[in-house]
Amino acid sequence: MISAVVTGKAGRDPELRTTGAGNTMAKFSVASSQKKGEEYQTTWVDVLCFGEQAEQVAERVQKGTRVTATGKMQLEQYEKRDGTPGSSLVLMADDVGISLRFAPAGATAAASTSNDEYPTGW
């Protein structure tokens, strides 16, 4: 898998689910647009989060929220309803943060839910 960083706006509210094994999972899409000539080209990426991070994302992210997500990117193949093949980009998120660059006044960042991988007090 490829490590990736995706920044854009949430295209829908996160869906929070519990797997058969009892794990929590959240899924939402992120749209990132780039101007190509006179037109914009939008790339959609599905973001998957697990555990406590999934719960935090479901609580704080909503459609239109500008986020930055890091993790491992993979391409998923599937069959569309009409029987033709399709594919989608999926980011298995290690970290998701709300971007404060374009946030409205009074917005707050989500609390970190990392694995204490970095020392405290720096």
Is residue 111 situated within a structural domain? no
Q: Check if the beta carbon of residue 32 is closer than 8 Å to that of residue 42.
A: yes
- Residues forming a β-bridge with 13: none
Of 75-84, 99-108, 113-122, the one with minimum mean pLDDT is: 113-122
Q: Check if the beta carbon of residue 79 is closer than 8 Å to that of residue 68.
A: no
Domain tally for the chain?
1
pLDDT, one tens digit per residue, over 79-106 is 999 999 988 889 999 999 998 776 665 5
Q: Greater confidence, 108 or 7?
A: 7
Is residue 40 situated within a structural domain? yes
pLDDT at 107 over 50: yes
For the CA atoms of 67, 27, 82, 39, what is the dihedral angle to 10 degrees?
Answer: 0
pLDDT, one tens digit per residue, over 35-57 is 888 898 998 999 999 999 999 99
The predicted structure's pLDDT at residue 104: 60
The predicted structure's pLDDT at residue 33: 85
Read off the CATH number of the domain in which 64 is found.
2.40.50.140
pLDDT at 62 over 90: yes
Q: What is the mean pLDDT of residues 59-88?
A: 93
- Cα distance between residue 79 and residue 87, in whole Å: 8
Residue 79 lies in domain: 2-98
Is residue 122 situated within a structural domain? no
The predicted structure's pLDDT at residue 88: 86
